[in-house]
Amino acid sequence: MSDAHVRPARFSAEEWAARVQLAACYRIFAHLGWSELIYNHISLRVPGGDSGESHFLVNPFGLHYSEVTASNLVKVDTAGRIVGHSDWPINPAGFTFHGAIHATLPDAHCVMHVHTTPTLAVCCTQDGLSYTNFYAAQLWGKVAYHDFEGITVHLDEGRRILASANGKPVLLLRNHGPVVIGHSLAQAFSLMWLVQRACEVQIASQALGPLRVIPVPVLEGCVRDSLNFDPRFGAGQDAFAAMQRLIDRIDPGYRA
């Protein structure tokens, strides 16, 4: 069934397409084991916008990622105020830094935050991400850090988190977990995939002994050659599309 057959009249075609894509992403995260009960967020800018004002879609607070659908996603402004009708609230603590990033960076169309065990474990280490494996090598020069300040409920920390990112697409919140910022949902997903895999391999390899250093020129070459950032290969769109097809086969209810 095409999206047009199920699109509620209150949503434009552009907004509905964004809703379907974001709902698919929540189901993909659930499938991959990246969900965290009812917590964490993936936020996506609504295409277009009314009178120049940007709005964003985020998960309803109280639902597991496997329960998120295109129609129950909540539309908010950069302050986290709900726009239009919603049967669900949002978690203002989680949207604090999402809103600050979206409001300040015009190209920050998608922001993702997770608490997966491998990524959070690396965020708890003194040295953070080690550029000693295939996945981490593709993130060379793209990672920043922000010191832990507690639960992110304060707007002023949102501004400090943004300053800590300093234009980097990956921000590791120390003792907390990663944040990725993408020009599109697909790009953000590919970045999060790299972060997750890099941390998984780092944890596994650290247990075996000293890690083998990769020379900086090789790291720089890996970033240049990574398909995850190459628009000729969709900058991650092809990989996201493959995962969405997988979800369509096993969990298509997200399109409702």
High-pLDDT (> 70) share of the chain, %? 96
- Written as six digits, the tokens of 92 are 């203002």
Both tokens assigned to 151: 């639960």
DSSP secondary structure string, 55-76?
Answer: -EEEPPTT--GGG--TTTPEEE
Task: Using CA atoms of 26, 139, 161, 236 in order, give the dihedral in degrees to the nearest 10.
Answer: -30
* Global pTM value: 0.93
pLDDT in tens, 8-38: 988 999 999 999 999 999 999 999 999 999 9
Q: Which CATH class is domain 10-251?
A: alpha beta
- For residues 131 and 219, the answer to whether their CB atoms sit within 8 Å is yes
- Which amino acid belongs to residue 138? Q
200-237 pLDDT, tens digit per residue, is 999 999 999 999 999 999 999 999 998 777 777 777 89
* Closest of 13, 23, 25, 2 to residue 70, by C-alpha: 23
Token pair recorded at residue 48: 């277009």
Domain ranges, ordered by start, for the chain:
10-251
